Amino acid sequence: GEDVEQSLFLSVREGDSSVINCTYTDSSSTYLYWYKQEPGAGLQLLTYIFSNMDMKQDQRLTVLLNKKDKHLSLRIADTQTGDSAIYFCAESIYGNNRLAFGKGNQVVVIP
C-alpha cells in the first residue's frame, strides 16, 4: 500500500529557495502530487509528476523525483511571504483516485 513520509518544519528567508522533501513507498506506477494548504483553507493543487519522469518545472516550482530512492522534492525559487503554508505530498496509483498524503511540511517565510 501507499505510505508517504515528510519532515515537519522549514523556515526560509524571503527571496531564498526552499526545498521540501518527501518519500513514498509504493512501487507501482504512480502520480505524485504537491498540495499547499493555507490556514483555514482547503488544499490547492500546485503540481504533479508521473513516476516515469525525473523532473518537472512550473514557474517557480521544480519537482525532482528519484525513483531509485523513492524520494520526491519540491523546490520553490524566490520564496515569497505568500508561500507560507503547509505543503503536502501525495501519491496515487495510476487510474486510482485515492490519494495517500504525507503529514505535511510547514514552511514559514521570514520577511
Partner 1 sequence: KAGVTQTPRYLIKTRGQQVTLSCSPISGHRSVSWYQQTPGQGLQFLFEYFSETQRNKGNFPGRFSGRQFSNSRSEMNVSTLELGDSALYLCASSSLDRGLYEQYFGPGTRLTVT
Residues that bind partner 1 (CB under 8 A): 31, 33, 35, 41-45, 48, 50, 88, 90, 92, 94-104
CB of 110 to partner 1, least distance (A): 24
Cβ-based nearer residue to partner 1, 17 or 57: 57
The whole-angstrom separation of Cα 20 and Cα 35 is: 12
Cβ-based nearer residue to partner 1, 59 or 111: 59
The whole-angstrom separation of Cα 74 and Cα 87 is: 9
The whole-angstrom separation of Cα 110 and Cα 15 is: 9
CB of 96 to partner 1, least distance (A): 7
CB of 76 to partner 1, least distance (A): 20
The whole-angstrom separation of Cα 60 and Cα 78 is: 7
Q: Whose CA is closest to 61, among 23, 13, 17, 107?
A: 17
Cβ-based nearer residue to partner 1, 78 or 94: 94
